[in-house]
Amino acid sequence: MNDLIAGFRKFRESAYPQRAALFHKLAHTQSPEILFIACSDSRVVPELVTQTEPGGMFVIRNGGNIVPSYGPEPGGISGTVEYAVAALKVKDVVICGHSNCGAMTAIAKGHDLSEMPAVSSWLRHADAAKAVNAAHHHDSEQAKLDDLVRQNVIAQLSNLRTHPSVAVALSQKKLRLHGWVFDIESGEIAALDHQSGGFVDLMQHPDVYAQAD
């Protein structure tokens, strides 16, 4: 807690004064153009990785960067996606996985989650990724995990498209979807290419996207 309070002090004394005009504007409105869906992992900080200022992104974070398929049961993620797309009119949605994800590691290694039933239930939303991953040949456990992380991004994009607000925006060509995987150690991002179906270096292919309609 001492570190958090010290960080807040630094924010008030230096970071806030530098952005006072921005915060005054944001106090009354927001107009982010991007919905960024990432893992809750403490090593992944979307605003740091993308160097985005306050107000620039609408962010969802949860274990495994998961988006449940749309269904009759209301949920915070479904509601947040709907609000971002239908009300805020974001133009892009990014689902960002990351290297050595704890949630994907639990799936890849078949960890016993009997003492964490909520986690076990939550990870069922990655069953499609698990099935595709299991059908692939892997030369090592690390390769298996890396593939699962990518397959999960693809699976969650598929889940995302079941949301009515997303389906409508895509049909009207008002939305683009992006699938990223952030490598913690190298700081690089691999992005899903809608043309090849594979992941490419985002630095070398900045215009790549996963789906536009």
User: Using one digit for the tens of pLDDT, what is the confidence trace for 64-101?
Assistant: 999 999 987 768 999 999 999 999 999 999 999 999 99
| Residue-range definition of the domain harbouring residue 7 | 1-27
Is 213 within the bounds of a domain?
no
* DSSP structural state of residue 35: E
Is 209 within the bounds of a domain?
no
For residues 115 and 75, state if they share a domain. Answer: yes
pLDDT digits (tens, 9 = 90+) for 32-41: 999 999 999 9
Q: If we measure between CA atoms, which residue out of 101, 103, 99 comes closest to residue 184? A: 99
As annotated, the active-site residues are 39, 41, 43, 98, 101
End-to-end Cα separation, the chain, in angstroms: 46
Q: According to DSSP H, which parts of 28-140 are helical?
A: 46-50, 76-82, 102-108, 117-122, 127-135
Residue 204: what pLDDT? 96
Query: Kind of pairing, strands 34-39 and 57-62?
Result: parallel
pTM exceeding 0.85: yes
**∠ Cα 208 210 212 (to 5°):** 95
Is 212 within the bounds of a domain?
no
Q: If we measure between CA atoms, which residue out of 126, 199, 192, 208 comes closest to residue 159? A: 126
Indicate the pLDDT class of residue 211, thresholds 50, 70 and 90: confident
For residues 97 and 5, state if they share a domain. Answer: no
* DSSP structural state of residue 72: S
CATH of residue 61: 3.40.1050.10
For residues 138 and 38, state if they share a domain. Answer: yes
Contact present, 51 and 110 (Cβ < 8 Å) = no
Is 44 within the bounds of a domain?
yes
For residues 95 and 14, state if they share a domain. Answer: no
For residues 48 and 11, state if they share a domain. Answer: no
Is residue 177 pLDDT above 80, yes or no?
Answer: yes
Is 189 within the bounds of a domain?
yes
For residues 115 and 175, state if they share a domain. Answer: yes
Average pLDDT over residues 159-175: 97
Indicate the pLDDT class of residue 208, thresholds 50, 70 and 90: very high
Counting the structural domains of the chain, the total is 2
